[in-house]
Amino acid sequence: MTTQFKTLDDAGDLRGKVALVRVDLNLPMRDGAVTDLTRARAVAPTILELSDAGAKVFLLAHFGRPKGERNSTMSLSLVQGAVEEVLGREVMFVPEIYGDVVKQSVGILQPGGIAMLENSRFWAGEEANDPAFAQAIAENADLYVNDAFSAAHRAHATTEGLAHILPAFAGRAMQKELEALEKALGEPERPVAAVVGGAKVSTKLAVLEHLVSKVDHLIIGGGMANTFLAERGVDVGKSLCEHELKDTVTQIMDAADKANCTVHLPYDVVVAKEFAANPASLRTCNVHEVAADEMILDIGPQAVEALADALKTCRTLVWNGPLGAFETEPFDEATVKLAKTAAAFTVDGALVSVAGGGDTVAALYHAGVADDFSYVSTAGGAFLEWMEGKELPGVKALTRS
């Protein structure tokens, strides 16, 4: 995949050039203060590399959902201090995104200087991907760098439109993400396993339908496993279950059979009569022994052991979603155990492991193994659409330019 798009290695001499860099600075805030710097840290290497090469760096980002109108509570100036803290450099704030004010800022900024343009979503032309709006932004620049994979599933002016006007390059975070995804599902080393968890089959239908033709082992966890068990004739009691999707699940199982993809469902489960931390009614049982007043809240230890054995035979793993209700103890046990197993195989060099999605990232940090996976994507929607096999507009625009 790396051959299909240009990276900063292809950008040539950048001294004095004006680089528009699309980043994700949609940082979480509480009481006017930024609470998590993960996204800013992810794009820092690209910003600093361009700055060190003598480019005039202008950051483009969105913040919240102002719906095409100025809103002081969603100004990017609110995250300026946090970005300066991460970069260890001064960042000039520019309250516009195109026009004379930006032109003056380009004149003021020294080579190597960094500026941040106002929230791109203050203009309706952003989400409409208006070519005239993109053209106006591009007028003051020499090149475009996209380092926001998390916004690559949206065809907006700053994520897609600019790539058709200016010489376009993938930033380092984008490059890393695309290389990891290529290793995971583009041209992976086989056998490939995918863990797909989460509450509902309905939210991951497209993912499951796409994956059965791509992977050798499909491991189903979370509430969605109950829907698969019910389709197999298991009485799942009071468990979260989408009984109306029985026919859809049958189609997925049939497609998996045709593609020689083994679908792994738990044969022992952890159940309780109420969903609470360490409930008195907690027990582990065979899937066929779930009582009418019980809920399945995690997969059992024997199932986890069998999954670990399956992973032992695999070379590549893609993970999206927890195996149980991991936010509440002890229903985090299966997720933690399997995550630790996958991490150990990765550290040994036996497995390439790529994980993504909000719950998944939280679960891997909870298990203490996020740093041991080959790659952990913080992109939610974009990662999911990639798992569905969709073409992401922001990525496609880079490969075309």
Residues belonging to the active site: 39, 200, 358, 381
26 belongs to an annotated ligand binding site: yes
341 carries a ligand binding annotation: no
Q: Coil, helix or strand for 377?
A: strand
154 is in an annotated binding site: yes
The answer to whether the annotation marks 359 as part of a ligand binding site is yes
Q: Is 25 annotated as a binding residue?
A: yes
178 is in an annotated binding site: no
Q: Is 358 annotated as a binding residue?
A: yes
To the question of whether residue 288 is assigned a binding role by annotation, the answer is: no
Find out whether 357 is annotated in a ligand binding site: yes
Closest CA to 307 of 348, 259, 354, 339: 339
52 is in an annotated binding site: no
Strands 268-272 and 295-299: antiparallel
Give CA separation, 106 vs 21, 109, 116, 148, 340, in Å. 14, 5, 11, 23, 49
Is 89 a known ligand-binding residue?
no
Q: Please report which helix (H) or strand (E) contains residue 210, including its range.
A: helix 205-211
Long-range contacts of 303-306 (CB under 8 A, 24+ apart): 303/264, 303/266, 303/267, 303/268, 303/269, 303/334, 304/333, 304/334, 304/337, 304/338, 306/264, 306/267
Is residue 30 a known part of a binding site? no
204 is in an annotated binding site: yes
Q: DSSP code of 386?
A: H
- Ligand-binding annotation for 62, yes or no, is yes
Place of tokens 């009614």: 281
CB atoms within 10 A of CB 16: 12
Supply the DSSP string of 137-181, one letter for each residue.
Answer: HHTT-SEEEE--GGGTTS--TTTTGGGGTS-EEE-HHHHHHHHHH
Measure the CA–CA gap between 148 and 216, rounded to whole angstroms: 31
CB burial of residue 349 (10 Å; 0-12, 13-18, 19+): exposed
Q: Residues at the annotated binding site for ATP?
A: 204, 327, 357-360
Residues annotated in a binding site for (2R)-3-phosphoglycerate: 39, 121, 154
Annotated binding residues for substrate, written as ranges, equal 24-26, 39, 62-65, 121, 154
